[in-house]
Amino acid sequence: MAFFRITLIRSAIGLPQKTRGQIMKVKELVAVSEVEKALSKAEVKAQRTPDPGYYIESPGLGAG
């Protein structure tokens, strides 16, 4: 079974209320791709979480 991933790439602000839920009427605002399986909520959240931009390094255990 095929699944579709729909990603909003531009804002829908300023569009008439009537066209906001119709994909073909807002095709310039969204990107549609076919995927093999549906993502879980945790997988979607992991994809949307940005990289923090820094890493915490722990000191070695033998230091001192």
Give the tens place of pLDDT for each residue, 20-64.
767 777 778 888 889 899 989 999 888 888 888 887 787 766 555
Q: Where are the domains of the chain?
A: 3-40
Q: Which amino acid is at 52?
A: P
d(CA 26, CA 60): 54
pTM: 0.53
d(CA 32, CA 6): 5
pLDDT of residue 17: 78
Per DSSP bridges, beta strands 30-35 and 3-8 are antiparallel
